[in-house]
Every structure is written in C-alpha cells, then in structure tokens.
Amino acid sequence: MTTISADLVKTLREKTGVGMMECKKALVETSGDIEKAQEFLRKKGLADAAKRGDRTTAEGMIESYIHMGGQIGVILELNCETDFVARNENFKTLAKDIAMHIAASAPQYVSKEEVPADLVNKEKDILMAQPDMASKPENVREKIIEGRIEKFYEQICLMNQPFVKDPSVKIADLVNKSISTIGEKILVKRFVRFSVGES
C-alpha cells in the first residue's frame, strides 16, 4: 500500500476543499495520484460540494434536541439556499444528527476559524511546555505541536469532530456529503448547548 503523506493530503484538500479524511481515502484509492484523486472526489460529488462554498445560505431551519431526560439541550441553526431544501427530509435528518452530535460531544465552536487566536496560542504554550518536548529538535517540535493542535480542534470544533454515529466520518464530511446529495450549499450557522448545572 502507498504511504500517503500529510502534505499530499493537505495539497488535495486545498485543491478541492474536501475534508481531510475524504482526501486521504481518495489518495489511498488512487495510489497517491493527485489528478486521479481529484477525479475520484468529483465522481463522488464531494469536490462539487466544496465549490458551492461561496453561495448564499439565507434559508434553513432551527433544530432542537433534548437528551438524558431533559439534562442536556441543543438549539442549532442549519442554513441552506432555498426553502425547498429546508423542507427536504435529508436536510432535516442532517440537522437532527448534528444537534444530537452536539449534545453528545459538547463542541465549543462551529469551526477552527472561530477559535480565538489567544486560546490557540495558550494551548500551543501548554503543549510546548510538556516534558516530552524538551528533548526534541525545533523542527520536530513544530510538527508535533501542529498535530496536537489538530487534535485540540477535534475536541472543541464541531466541524473537526468525528461524528458520534460513525467516528470514521468528520462532521465537515457529513455536511459535504449532504451538499453533494442535495445539490445546495449547507452551512452550520450557530448552536447553543445547555447542560443542567453548568453556568
């Protein structure tokens, strides 16, 4: 099996806008060939989903989810381009799945772009101060920190989290799959998660 480097995955992601896991799968399927991997993603409809990124999402729905006998509650705004899609069963199912996931996984932000820079820098400082980092060369430390920051984003950012019903798929990939199925841009606008006893 061909070894797929993180840089190759990153390059394909930048070219297509498709999630990291889907890019890696495409590269594995095509033995690391970028052109064939792009074609593979287009056949699956995922690359087209990414291209819809600049379209306006002024329609959608508010979904609520209550869990654990009323101990945890979520309100989610999921947007799309038309009211027709907002009434679509696939769209409603996606909203329910995402709201349920938020209840279970407690993300703090929709995407890593929303995470304040000072919080990321504080996390980097904490990671850099860990005992296993002292003996590593500078360039190796930077790579390790980069990987650990991605894990940090998985903990706090909805779009980076593995989907609770299928951890092999990230929430971003779940949304992109729905975009390719439905044929419209879909955007997780915002959410609020309440838990009894939390301030």
Determine how many CB atoms are found less than 10 A away from the CB of residue 114. Answer: 13
Domains and CATH numbers, the chain: 6-52 (1.10.8.10), 56-111+157-195 (3.30.479.20), 116-155 (no CATH)
Closest by CA to 16, choosing from 39, 44, 40, 50, is: 50
Q: What is the pLDDT of residue 139?
A: 82
Q: What is the pLDDT of residue 20?
A: 75
Q: What is the pLDDT of residue 189?
A: 94
176-to-19, 47, 71, 155 alpha-carbon distances in Å: 8, 9, 31, 20
Closest by CA to 29, choosing from 13, 20, 41, 17, is: 41
Average pLDDT, the chain: 87
Rounded distance between C-alpha atoms, residue 128 and residue 55, angstroms: 40
Full-model pTM: 0.69
In degrees rounded to 5, what are phi and psi of residue 157? -110, 120
50-107: pLDDT as tens digits: 555 556 667 899 999 998 788 999 999 999 988 888 899 999 999 999 999 999 999 9
Q: Which helix (H) or strand (E) holds 109?
A: none
95-143: pLDDT as tens digits: 999 999 999 999 999 999 999 999 999 998 888 888 888 788 888 888 8
Q: Say whether 56 sits in a helix, a strand or coil.
A: coil
Q: Say whether 107 sits in a helix, a strand or coil.
A: coil
